[in-house]
Structure 1
Amino acid sequence: MSKTIKNTATKEEGKNALVPKLRFPEFRGAVGWTPVALGEASVPVTERVGERKLTPVSISAGIGFVPQAERFGRDISGNQYQLYTLVRDGDFVFNKGNSLKFPQGCIYLLERWGQVAAPNVFICFRMKDGYSNGFFQQCFEQNQHGRQLKRHITSGARSNGLLNISKDTFFGVEIPTPSPAEQQKIAECLSSVDELIATQAQKLDALKTHKKGLMQQLFPREDETQPRFRFPEFQNTGEWEIKTMGSFASFSSGGTPSKDNPAYWNGSIPWVSASSMYDLIIKKADHYVTPLAIGKGTRIAKKGSILILVRGSMLFKRVPICIAGIDVAFNQDVKALDVDTSINTSFLLYQLSAFQSRIPINETGIGAGKIELEHLKGFELFFPEVHEQQRIADCLTNLDDLITTETKKLEALKAHKKGLMQQLFPSLGEAEA
């Protein structure tokens, strides 16, 4: 501990100290933070697994450690297993693979695993005394390492998907660091926020799981014509009626206006494509068109229309289905359904969502999924009388409203943490001013 403090004091004499915008009261009069290289603050972990029988792991950006068998469907260590690195709880592992969240690679702390086997292409290290795991974990979550490694990466990923980052370069990354006591205080503060975020995420997941189970009860299962659960007032009203989609809906196709004509784009009308179809009710899109574009490659789906993605690689994971909350335009990969007044559109939306795994998906020559129009028109759905449709739609809509509320709470907590971290950590660039 004393050695760490001595090193910090020496650095203070040669570098401008860093001071965050927000400090806890007991540290406001303390010296500024000092950039410390990872090579100084940690020791490499290089012990091989050898004959030990441990779980081979990978690292997934945004998730952390994942057993190889879970991520890849099998253990991919093969003959290299004995050369894997032995990683213990409290060790950090750097995955040099680039990702959307961490373009220069991600770093995770091993916790509650005991011991695991990590591929030897990963860089593993352990913090020295005086350097808090919790503090550095938050620094790596901020991607402080990536912002420095970026200038050392001169080419894309290799054939194995890993960036060309040497150990010397990695351990040369400098992290602005306060005293051990201040490190611990910050780590405890942010850890408490992380616990709130985790609790809220669990609450949200529980609601989504409840909705999924409820939908399985509210709509008929395969080879059945009425659901397992019916509201008391409808329990003796008989079987649901089977209808094909072509019998109660008309279908229209969208399109893409010429990208060469600027008069068609950047207007006020949402132009819906696969990337926009994540909410049940759609009122906005990634791109917008002008009224001039309508009839010149695209068309309008009126408010209340059902929109279904019928072409794209996304179909192999899910079938995006939504209701137009306002008049929208849409592209050629989307079908719009104009539904008879005898059908409750919200009820239809929820039933299609519940049955989406039954919709036949074909594969195109370029590897994308496709729903044939004749299959969609012939797809069978089940309908009670209109009052029961409304009752089911209201129940699920209320649950969706609750999910939306809890989602916003989760997003607010994450935004609070992000803002707090911006205040609690100084920028390394400030030292160079």
Structure 2
Amino acid sequence: MTKDKDTKTVVPALRFPEFSENGEWTIVPLKKHAKLITEKAKNRNYIPLSVTSGVGLVSQMEKFGREIAGEQYKNYYVINKFDFAYNKSATTSYPEGYISMLKNFDRGAVPNSIFTCFSVDKNEINPQYLDQLFQDNFHGKWLRNYIEIGSRANGALSIDSKILLNMLIPLPKLKEQLKIKDCLSCLDDLISAVADKIETLKEYKKGLMQQLFPAEGKTTPAFRFPEFQNAGEWKDTTLGEEVYYENGKAHENDINETGKYIVVNSKFISTDGEVVKYTDNPSCLANKGDILMVLSDVPNGRAIAKCFIVDCNNKYTVNQRVCKLTPKKAVALLLYYSINRNPFLLAFDDGIKQTNLKKDDVLNCLFRLPQEPQEQQRIADCLLSVDELISIEIAKLDQLKAHKKGLMQQLFPKIQ
């Protein structure tokens, strides 16, 4: 529906009661209430910023451990709190680039080579309302119509600033924008609180493992359950003594979206099961209690030597560049906790070239185990209880994110 030939209007599916009689939202190009920022840092002292996709603008010191601006700093754009910076680098979550609002600093400077920056008229647009749209990748739906495949300049997407500012945005009156912003910000606070709890639990588990496993050069742990105080020293062992080894097999030609079996490849393990492929032809079937380990990764990668423990039979098949470790006598779950991203195996990553763990590398992995299976099980159960708490919070986080996504689909009208 339109008011006139130049102004389009829309109505959201869900609206707060106090605004139900406020009429339709207008659809306007961003440029109507925004302007490009072209001020350069020159020799003035601002905090050099970078961006972390999905997080926002952070200091280069926080992201890289140092400032990387160098001689280019004088050409950096200067932005103020609540200004926006469009990063033209594609990521998995934001393939058309990421727009972030400056929240945590009063002023800062961003690289002019990969950022387009703009400010909005706060009498017409609440910046945090607009930020909610961008966090949901609203801009991506607009920009993807103008990005040619392979269209890049100096590693960044080639997007003209005019196209960015021509983006059409749905705009209610300022008071309704504030209400929507407040509602979604409350959800963001809940999401942040749960995410923080997850990180706290992970740190707790890390500290607990340091207490439950012997430190370097020690043969007994700092903490031991009372019933095992006199159980003696832990034994030195290798994976070769504790498991049977088998390399995974290629499944690439047998992938089937409706397949019965999950193909456990490095992506499945590195994403904790979020990226999944299926097949009906299992070439290397895994059984309950098997430990599957990633053998290959890029320099400084986070997947090398990461493990997945199989929770049931006839569900998983092992892909190439992943190995299957079948425990002989030791408690499988404790083996998993002992070797997952084990420092012995991480040392094969030199930070320069691709890491490819060989069979002997894996089987020569040194570690310590309690002598008695009962103590092995006790430690495994203790750590599993923490993992279960973490899983509950992760599920809660996913539910909150899904709720917010669904709410946004109702609060913001579709215009494209």
TM-score normalised according to structure 2 size: 0.90
User: Is 1:141 the counterpart of 2:139 in the alignment?
Assistant: no
1:20 corresponds in structure 2 to: 12
The residue that corresponds to 2:67 in the other structure is 75
Aligned partners of 2:48 and 2:69 also within 8 Å: yes
**Aligned partner (choices 205, 209, 213) of residue 215 of structure 1:** 209
Aligned to 1:3: none
**Which structure is higher in helix share?**
1
The CA deviation at 1:278 is: 4.6
* Residue 313 (structure 1) shift: 3.0
Which region of structure 1 is more displaced relative to structure 2, 187-196 or 228-237? 228-237
Aligned length: 407
Find the residue that maps to 2:285 and give its secondary structure.
strand
Structure 1 stretch displaced more, 152-161 or 343-352: 152-161
Match of 2:188 in 1: 194
Q: Which amino acid aligns with 2:311?
A: G
Are residue 351 (structure 1) and residue 345 (structure 2) matched? no
Q: Provide the rounded CA distance (Å) in 1 between the counterparts of 2:153 and 2:32.
A: 32
Question: Structure 1's 287 and 53: CA in aligned 2 closer, same or farther, altered over 3 A?
Answer: same
**Does the 8 A contact of 1:96 with 1:163 survive in 2?**
yes
Counterparts of 1:258 and 1:405, CA distance in 2: 33
- Matching of residue 329 in structure 1 with residue 317 in structure 2: yes
- Does the alignment pair 1:171 with 2:165? yes
CA deviation after TM superposition for structure 1 residue 408, in Å: 0.4
Residue aligning to 1:306: 291
Helix, strand or coil: the match of 2:90? coil
- Residue 414 of structure 1 is aligned with which of 382, 401, 405? 401
Could you say if the C-alpha distance between residues 137 and 268 of structure 1 is closer, same or farther in structure 2, counting changes exceeding 3 Å?
same
Q: Max radius of gyration: which structure?
A: 1
In structure 2, distance between residues paired with 1:154 and 1:338: 48
Q: Is the 8 A contact 1:99 1:105 kept in 2?
A: yes
Secondary structure of 1:411's aligned partner:
helix
2:392, 2:61 → 1: CA distance? 36
Q: Which amino acid aligns with 2:103?
A: E
Is contact 2:76–2:112 with CA below 8 Å preserved after alignment?
yes
CA separation in 2, counterparts of 1:26 and 1:201?
A: 33
- In structure 2, what is the Cα distance between the partners aligned to 1:187 and 1:153? 30
Match of 2:89 in 1: 97
| 2:382 is equivalent to residue 388 of structure 1 | no
8 Å contact 1:312–1:333 — kept in the other structure?
no
What SS does the aligned partner of 2:128 have? helix
| 1:217-257 C-alpha deviation (Å, 9 max, x unpaired) | 11112222111111222223221111222123211222125
Give the Cα–Cα distance (whole angstroms) in 1 for the partners of residues 241 and 135 of structure 2. Answer: 53
CA distance in 1, matches of 2:148, 2:258: 36
Structure 2 counterpart of 1:289, from 276, 279, 296: 279
| Structure 2: runs of 5 or more not aligned | none
SS at match of 1:299: coil
Secondary structure, counterpart of 1:34 in structure 2? strand
Residue 371 of structure 1: which of 340, 344, 357 is its match? 357
State the one-letter code of the partner of 1:75.
Answer: E
For 1:152 and 1:376, locate their aligned partners in 2 and report how far apart those are by CA, in whole Å: 48
Q: Say which of 269, 274, 299 aligns to 2:261.
A: 269
Asked if the contact 2:53/2:98 (under 8 Å) is kept, the reply is yes
C-alpha spacing 1:372/1:223, structure 2 compared with 1 (3 Å): farther
More displaced stretch, 330-339 vs 199-208 = 330-339
Name the counterpart of 2:43.
51
Provide the C-alpha distance between the structure 2 equivalents of 1:258 and 1:92, rounded to a whole number of angstroms.
Answer: 42
SS at match of 2:49: strand
Contact 1:54 / 1:116 at 8 angstroms: preserved in 2? Answer: yes
The 1:426/1:368 distance shift into structure 2, 3 A limit, reads same
Does structure 2 retain, via aligned residues, the 8 Å contact 1:316–1:361?
no
| Alignment of 1:124 onto 2:117 | yes
Q: Structure 1 unaligned runs (5+)?
A: 1-10
| 3-state SS, counterpart of residue 222 of structure 1 | coil
Q: TM-score, normalised by structure 1?
A: 0.87
Paired amino acid for 1:64: G
Aligned residue identity for 1:103: P
Verify the 8 A CA contact 1:47 1:86 in the aligned structure 2: yes
C-alpha change, 1:50 and 1:189, in structure 2 (3 Å) is same
Q: CA RMSD in A?
A: 2.5
1:337 maps to amino acid: L
Q: 1:360 to 1:61 in 2, by over 3 A?
A: closer
Secondary structure of the equivalent of 2:125? Answer: coil
Counterpart-to-counterpart distance in 2, 1:39 and 1:371: 53
- In structure 1, how many angstroms separate the alpha carbons of the residues matched to 2:234 and 2:175? 67
Corresponding position of 1:4: none
- Give matches, 1:232-247, under 5 Å: 232-247=226-241
Seq. identity, %: 36
Contact preservation (8 Å) 1:339, 1:345: yes
1:98–1:157 CA contact under 8 A, matched in 2: no
1:267-324 deviation line (CA, Å, top 9, x unaligned): 42222211222588x8x9823333xx45xxx222222112122233388424221211
